[in-house]
Amino acid sequence: MIQTDFQELEERFGARNYHPLPVVLSRGSGVYVWDTEGRRYLDMMSAYSAVSHGHCHPRLVKALTEQAARLAVTSRAFYSDRLGPFLEEACKKTGMEQALPMNSGTEAVETALKAARKWAYTVKKVPEGRAEILACRGNFHGRSITVVGLSSEMQYRKGFGPFPDGLKVIPYGDPEALRHAITPQTAAFLVEPIQGEGGIILPPHGYLAQCAVICRQQNVLLIADEVQTGLGRTGDFLACQHEGIRPDGLILGKALGGGLLPVSLFLARREVMQVFGSGDHGSTFGGSPLAAAVGLEALRVIEDEHLVERSARLGRDFLAALEKLESPLIRAVRGRGLFVGIEVDPEYLGARTVCERLLEEGILTKETHRTVVRLAPPLVIEAAELDEAVIRIEKVFHTLGREARKVC
């Protein structure tokens, strides 16, 4: 079969909820993937940060296959010898006291919201049915009905209402907006330290620290969604740590599964987590021996291979090199660690056009919000590979800029 055959199969039998770039991938190793015709590409997207360890990391594949051959799924009806060590390591590394395992990031977000609401009723004594959740404009916390109800993106919302009550959206990066939005019924403030799908948006320095103070003063839970930004992506183990804060609740996912399977966690202070009783919440596959074995090894690889430090060091140089690019098509370059966005001028072109041209140059990435090219390579990438990526990115913008001048 040729590439177009595979594309046609997906389009015929699959729901069209994505708009993939025209390439059919068949294998990967480290920072590279290959299509069905054998062409190699540098992966500058990492499956939305899920492949931070690189494709098919040998230690993670070994942990996966050995555990799969031993015991994969039991459900949480029983204890396993894998889950406890995984949760202990996750709590130690994040400074949290307890963790609840799920599968996808969306599930972990839903878990956090359920915990926040029950905490509001049982601990804060908010009247039943009145608890409120605050989130920020431009957020992306998943695509469940509840989370879509917190979105400000019309495409995510249109056709899926009505949404649950008690959901409010406030401006991002504005601590005073948070202060004014809080009421006696407010249970939690859910926030991304850096907005990923929103366009790699960094809030003003000190924003999270101010929000932490406001939440503590008002007895509101601060819950950080670090599904994309956590586990070294931004040059610290958690993006929250850039401002030295420890949230009341923390959401991890994507890279926690080592690029091999979905693994997520909601972690929190003991007071928050203990609102759950037996039967209140669960998941058949969440916390399975297989997921726990891979998650534990993923955490150990991050430490053993110094991926956090690599992200900080290489990210600084990568961002500096991109900031030097001269093109009338580029509005801004922003990011932290190996989490970078190039905003293009929509007057000339859309970000998808840039991604399509990068594909032709052997670089894989994807646009977000139609105007931002996302660049988030595996954290195992080498400096020379990033240098080569900059050369190809510069070539694409130079070519597109020349074409834009001809049109004008």
Q: Report the C-alpha gap between 133 and 140 in whole angstroms.
A: 15
Report all structural domains of the chain as residue ranges with CATH numbers, in order of start.
1-43 (no CATH), 58-304 (3.40.640.10), 306-370+380-408 (3.90.1150.10)
Query: How far is it, in rounded angstroms, from Cα 382 to Cα 132?
Result: 45
The reply to whether 254 belongs to the active site is yes
**Set 140, 189, 318, 397: catalytic member:** 140
pLDDT, position 2 = 87
Sheet architecture: strand order including 249-252: 98-102, 264-268, 249-252, 221-225, 186-191, 132-136, 167-170
> In the annotation, is 225 catalytic?
yes
What residues pair up with 252 in beta bridges, in sequence order?
265
Which member of 118, 236, 254, 339 is catalytic?
254
Q: State yes or no: is 248 an active-site residue.
A: no
Q: What share of the chain is helix, strand, coil (3-state, %, to 5)?
A: 40, 20, 40
Catalytic residue among 174, 225, 236, 248: 225
Q: What are the DSSP E strand ranges found in 218-281?
A: 221-225, 249-252, 264-268
Per-residue pLDDT of the chain (408 residues; tens, 9 = 90+): 888 999 999 999 999 999 999 999 999 999 999 999 999 999 999 999 999 999 999 999 999 999 999 999 999 999 999 999 999 999 999 999 999 999 999 999 999 999 999 999 999 999 999 999 999 999 999 999 999 999 988 888 999 989 999 999 999 999 999 999 999 999 999 999 999 999 999 999 999 999 999 999 999 999 999 999 999 999 999 999 999 999 999 999 999 999 999 999 999 999 999 999 999 999 999 999 999 999 999 999 999 999 999 999 999 999 999 999 999 999 999 999 999 999 999 998 999 999 999 999 999 999 998 999 999 999 999 999 999 999 999 999 999 998 876 655
Q: Tell me, what's the pLDDT at 156? A: 86
The CB-side HSE value for 206 (13 A sphere, CA atoms) comes to 2
**What does the alpha-carbon distance between residue 185 and residue 128 come to, in Å, rounded to a whole number?**
10
Q: What distance in Å separates the CA atoms of residue 232 and residue 230, rounded to the nearest whole number?
A: 6
pLDDT on residue 403 = 82
